[in-house]
Amino acid sequence: MNFSLTHAGDLLLRASWQAGVLALIVFVAQWLAGSRLSARWRYNLWMLVLLRLLLPIVPSTQWSVHNWIALPTKAPRELPQISQPGDANLSVVVLQADPVALQAPGPRPIPRPPPETWRDYAIPAAWLLWLAGFSFLFLRTLIATAKLSRQSRQFTRITDPQIIQLLDNARQRMRIRRRIEIGLR
């Protein structure tokens, strides 16, 4: 299996479940805060989730919530241990012998690859599934944005002073500094 694809799949899987846990924490925080949480803070909390999805590698800390849950990892293959006594008295004995003609070494046996596990198939499948879902949602968002932009050009601007005053009051209560224009279709 391609090492880089498997490694990218591991990173994607870890980032996805950690972002899921973070999204759950954001949901609970918003639910507990209720209407006391401003729109800016709600937006910033969701940006943390998006940032976690965009950064597959982040520094680790011992206080992380993600240390409570660990994904299974591949166990490294162990090499056979050769035991050597530490206090063995070694002596060298030299014997007189006729030189022996050395034969060329025979062909080396090719070691068998390790048996494939479910992980060898699951990570690339999860990677492809994530990529397909991301592509679908990204294209859907682009199409909706283009459609809304095209429709908004046809709106007629509202100039009624009462409606504009009502919109300004709402804008100030929500602490939005930028002027907002509204229109009718």
The percent of residues above 90 in pLDDT, for the chain, comes to 16
Q: Which of 71, 96, 119 is the last residue of a domain?
A: 71
* Structural domains of the chain, count: 2
The whole domain housing 16 covers 1-59+66-71
Q: Enumerate the β-bridge partners of residue 156.
A: 184
Sign of CA dihedral 157, 163, 164, 166: negative
- Is 86 within the bounds of a domain? no
Q: Enumerate the β-bridge partners of residue 184.
A: 156
Q: pLDDT value at position 169?
A: 92
Q: pLDDT value at position 138?
A: 93
- Is 166 within the bounds of a domain? yes
- Is 113 within the bounds of a domain? no
- Is 102 within the bounds of a domain? no
- Is 89 within the bounds of a domain? no
Q: pLDDT value at position 2?
A: 59
Q: pLDDT value at position 106?
A: 73
Query: Mean pLDDT in runs of 10 for the chain (185 residues)?
Result: 66 79 90 87 90 78 62 54 57 66 74 76 77 90 94 86 91 87 79
pTM of the model: 0.41
**Nearest residue to 124 via CA among 23, 12, 15:** 12
Provide the b/e sequence for 64-101 (b: ≥16 CB within 10 Å).
Answer: eebeeeeeeeeeeeeeeeeeeeeeeeeeeeeeeeeeee
Q: pLDDT value at position 146?
A: 95
Q: Which of 24, 47, 71 is the last residue of a domain?
A: 71
Report the 10 Å Cβ neighbour count for 127: 18
Q: pLDDT value at position 165?
A: 92
- Is 122 within the bounds of a domain? no
Residue 137 sits at the vertex; the CA angle it makes with 134 and 138, to the nearest 5 degrees, is: 80
Q: pLDDT value at position 147?
A: 94
